[in-house]
Amino acid sequence: MTSRLNPYLGFRDNAREAMDFYHSVFGGELTSSTFAEMQASEDDTESGKIMHSQLVTPSGYTLMAADTPNSMEFSPTSNHSVSLSGDSSDQAELSGYFEKLSAGGTVALPLEKAPWGDYFGMVIDRFGVQWLVNIGGSPA
């Protein structure tokens, strides 16, 4: 078995909307299960919330997410981000992701040539998730 490290994003109550958005950005296969489907909550207000969602993309990325139950603390922070990186042969793909993730979000740093020779940009998507995109290049 191969070990993997996957981002697992937490939301209060919009994981379905977020994962549908990421599915439109990255493509692939999206699966989701609600708390009701998993018989994991007796709180009717949570029955439609996402207990687990997983997106497996054609590029080999796996992104997971869930809604946070009302009984648990939810405090979004800015101390984490998701990084996408590749070399110059991936420029079109990665630039496309950056553009799509920017829709409705905030570009913190445009995707442009960085002092270290790569193309680099940062965007906070419309769900508050910070994405870093680095495309390998030649030294400046």
CATH number reported for the structural domain that contains residue 129 in this entry: 3.10.180.10
Cα atoms in the 13 Å half-sphere on the side-chain side of 31: 5
Q: Specify whether 62 is located in the same domain as 14.
A: yes
Q: What is the domain range of residue 40?
A: 8-67
Asked, for residue 46, whether it belongs to a domain, the answer is yes
Model confidence over 9-51: pLDDT tens digits?
999 999 999 999 999 999 999 999 998 888 766 667 788 899 9
pLDDT-based confidence at 1, cuts 50/70/90?
Answer: low
Residues 62 and 94 in one domain: no
Instruction: List the one residue out of 96, 22, 97, 95 whose CA is nearest residue 56.
Output: 22
Whether 121 and 97 share a structural domain: yes
Answer yes or no: is 77 within a domain.
Answer: no
Of 41, 67, 93, the residue that ends a domain is 67
pLDDT of residue 106 exceeding 90, the answer is yes
For residues 92 and 17, the answer to whether their CB atoms sit within 8 Å is no
Model pLDDT, residue 41: 66
Q: What is the pLDDT of residues 108-123, one digit of tens each?
A: 999 999 999 999 999 9
Contacts 24+ apart (CB under 8 A), 124-127: 125/21, 125/101, 126/21, 127/9, 127/11, 127/14, 127/17, 127/18, 127/21
Q: What is the pTM of this model?
A: 0.89
Query: What is the domain count for the chain?
Result: 2
The backbone torsions φ and ψ at residue 18, rounded to the nearest 5 degrees and listed phi first, read -65, -45
pLDDT cut 90: percent of the chain above it: 74
